[in-house]
Every structure is written in structure tokens, then in C-alpha cells.
């Protein structure tokens, strides 16, 4: 009986080794490698699947995600586009391409893809949420609020959506509304670090630096490696004129996330306070190139230009700061630019 069983097993293996089976095996192996951050191996398996089936949308999409995780956003966009060409209503690929476009500041492309997702699956909360993130970057705050509200209607238990809604109110300087929503978020999920980080940001705007430090430390206790929290604590130390602690936190933040333009802004401010104006200008220019959305970036950049006797550039930056509603210009700076 054993030889007969062996023969039957052999026949099954031959019969079952279909193209579809091999495609699934390559995809599974690629997914396991990607999960373990073995990106070269993951790329190999996805590539093998694509060689076997050139229009295998799942493999193109997952290969795009491998590049996305490596911050190779242009290549990610190319692969997501291939997936969508093979499967035009591929919701995951459309959302992924929207995220990659967001990272490359191609905000209108991102919105276009998200609109396509919503046309196919209107109840996709993640698409509405991502739209909110894009609108926030575009400073279309009212549209951002509406998008986050739609996401919250579809996924009312998702605290992240509520926190981001509160963050937009923070940007709009609706601090009381933001605080109410953050309190709601905290009541629903007391260990959400972004709640405490956002409370710290509101404290900073109100000049309550001791409270800000307490709140940001709560965020860091919950997520010690989060670069944004470390950077925010560094900014609080700047406002408290504790430059040594500020520099330590900002440097640690930059090491953890070298792509965070907010950390470059804060290090630029640090150099302004140290009166190293050329270094301040260099860092603030870099911060603005990385992310022009950064709060008060044009005021600090204008200050650096002014300290380096570059009046035209300084006044151009100050005008942009005023257009943003920063309300940071003093009478002397207004006179300087006349």
C-alpha cells in the first residue's frame, strides 16, 4: 500500500503545481520576507511572481510596499501604478499609491486616488481619513475636518481619527474644542501617546511649559522611541532656555528619524539662540525644503536671513509667515521690511 500511496502523492504534487499555486507560493514567501524586513528577498519572490504572470496585481502592489518601507517613494509609485494598470479598481493599491503620493508631496494625485477608492467603496474609512491627512498638509483645514468626521462616522471606535480631528482644531487655534476632543479620546484610550503629545502642543501655544513638559513626558513614557515626541520635548526645553537638554533631545530625534523636518527646524532655532546664524540658516532652509507645512518655519527662516544680513530673503520669508497667520512679527521687524 505504501508504494501506491507514494505514487498517488506524486501525481497530486504534479497536478497541484499549477501556475496559480506557484504564484501564491511566491506571494506568500515574499510576504513573509517583507514582514521580517528582508526586503531584498521579498523583492526577489515578488519579482518571480511577476515573471510568471506579468500582470499579477498583488505582487506589483506588495513590491511597491517594499519600496515604500524603504522610503523609495518614486519606485513605490511606479509599482503601485503597475498594480492599478492591471486591476483599475484595486482599492489597496489605490490607497497605497495615495500614501506614496502624499510622501512625495503630490497631494492632488493623492486626492485623486482616494476619490477613486471612495467611488468604488464609499464606506472605506481609511480613504476618508487619509484624505483628511492630505487636506491638513494642504492647509485646507475645513476640508480636513469634514474628511475626518466621515471617517469617524464609518469607524466610530477608532481613536486615531478623533485625535487627528483634534489636531486640526489645534492648527486652527480652536484650543478649547481640541481639548474637549482630546479628553474624549483619553477617556476611550488612556494609553494613546498622541493624546498627550497634542496636549503638550496646546500647552506650548499657551505658554504653559511646565504642563507641556509633563504631557510630553507622558507621551514619551508610552512610546519612548517616537522621534516626534522627543523633538517636541526638545522644543519645550528651547522655550525654557535649557539648551543642553534641548540639543540632546533634538539630536536623538534626528537620529531616530532623519526625515523629520520639524527636528531640523528646532535645531535651526537652537543655533539662532546660540547666535550661530549661518548654521541656523542652513538647517532652516533644509527644514523648509523637507516640509513647508512646518509651523512658523518662515518666521524662523526670516529671522536667520535677517541675522545674516539678507534683507530681501528675510522680508520674503516674513511675508509668508504673516500670510500663514503666525502673528510673530514685532514692530521692529515690520519696520525692518519697510
Neighbours of 102 (CB within 10 A): 20
17-48 as b/e, with b when 16 or more CB fall inside 10 Å? eeeeeebeebbebbbebbeeeebebbbebbeb
pTM over 0.75: yes
How high is the pLDDT of residue 51?
A: 96
> Do 19-112 and 122-224 fold alike per CATH?
yes
How is domain 19-112 classified at the CATH fold level?
Answer: 1.25.40
Largest CA distance in the chain: 99
Domain extent listing, the chain: 19-112, 122-224, 249-325
Q: φ, ψ for residue 36 (rounded to 5)?
A: -90, 5
Rounded distance between C-alpha atoms, residue 85 and residue 82, angstroms: 5
Q: Is the pLDDT of residue 155 over 60?
A: yes
C-alpha cell of residue 326: 503666525
Rounded distance between C-alpha atoms, residue 308 and residue 319, angstroms: 18
Please count the CA atoms within 13 angstroms of the CA of 159 that sit on its side-chain side: 14
| ∠ CA 258-194-262, rounded to 5° | 30
Neighbours of 274 (CB within 10 A): 12
The predicted-structure confidence for 2-54, as pLDDT tens digits, reads as follows 344 334 444 444 445 688 899 899 999 999 999 999 999 999 999 999 999 99
Q: φ, ψ for residue 89 (rounded to 5)?
A: -105, 25
The predicted-structure confidence for 156-198, as pLDDT tens digits, reads as follows 999 999 999 999 999 999 999 999 999 999 999 999 999 999 9
How high is the pLDDT of residue 17?
A: 65
Closest CA to 46 of 13, 16, 15, 69: 69
Q: φ, ψ for residue 84 (rounded to 5)?
A: -70, -35
Rounded distance between C-alpha atoms, residue 287 and residue 274, angstroms: 18
What CATH class has 122-224? mainly alpha
Residues in the chain: 338
Q: Is the pLDDT of residue 119 over 70?
A: yes
- What is the architecture of the domain spanning 249-325? Alpha Horseshoe (1.25)
Amino acid at each position: 500500500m505504501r508504494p501506491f500511496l507514494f505514487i498517488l502523492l506524486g501525481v497530486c504534487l504534479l497536478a497541484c503545481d499549477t501556475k496559480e499555486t506557484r504564484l501564491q507560493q511566491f506571494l506568500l514567501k515574499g510576504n513573509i520576507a517583507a514582514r521580517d524586513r528582508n526586503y531584498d528577498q521579498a523583492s526577489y519572490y515578488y519579482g518571480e511572481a511577476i515573471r510568471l504572470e506579468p500582470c499579477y496585481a498583488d505582487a506589483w502592489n506588495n513590491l511597491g510596499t517594499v519600496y515604500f518601507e524603504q522610503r523609495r517613494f518614486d519606485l513605490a509609485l511606479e509599482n503601485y501604478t503597475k498594480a492599478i494598470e492591471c486591476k483599475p479598481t484595486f482599492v489597496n493599491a489605490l490607497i497605497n499609491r495615495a500614501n506614496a503620493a502624499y510622501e512625495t508631496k503630490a497631494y492632488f494625485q493623492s486626492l485623486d486616488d482616494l476619490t477613486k477608492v471612495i467611488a468604488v467603496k464609499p464606506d472605506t474609512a481609511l480613504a476618508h481619513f487619509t484624505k483628511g491627512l492630505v487636506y491638513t498638509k494642504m492647509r485646507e483645514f475645513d476640508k480636513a475636518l469634514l474628511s475626518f468626521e466621515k471617517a469617524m462616522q464609518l469607524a466610530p471606535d477608532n481613536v486615531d481619527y478623533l485625535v487627528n480631528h483634534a489636531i486640526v482644531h489645534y492648527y486652527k487655534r480652536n484650543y478649547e474644542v481640541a481639548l474637549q476632543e482630546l479628553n474624549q479620546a483619553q477617556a476611550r484610550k488612556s494609553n494613546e501617546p498622541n493624546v498627550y503629545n497634542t496636549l503638550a502642543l496646546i500647552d506650548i501655544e499657551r505658554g504653559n511649559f511646565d504642563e507641556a513638559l509633563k504631557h510630553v513626558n507622558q507621551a514619551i513614557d508610552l512610546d519612548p522611541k517616537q522621534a516626534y515626541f522627543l523633538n517636541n520635548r526638545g522644543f519645550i526645553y528651547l522655550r525654557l532656555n535649557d539648551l543642553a537638554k534641548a540639543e540632546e533631545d533634538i539630536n536623538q530625534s534626528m537620529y531616530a528619524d532623519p526625515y523629520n523636518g520639524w527636528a531640523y527646524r528646532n535645531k535651526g532655532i537652537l543655533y539662532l539662540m546660540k547666535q550661530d546664524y549661518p548654521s541656523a540658516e542652513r538647517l532652516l532652509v533644509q527644514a523648509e525644503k523637507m516640509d513647508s507645512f512646518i509651523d512658523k518655519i518662515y518666521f524662523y527662516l526670516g529671522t536667520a536671513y535677517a541675522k545674516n544680513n539678507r534683507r530681501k530673503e528675510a522680508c520674503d520669508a516674513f511675508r509668508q509667515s504673516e500670510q500663514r497667520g503666525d502673528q510673530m512679527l514685532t514692530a521692529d521687524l515690520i519696520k525692518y521690511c519697510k
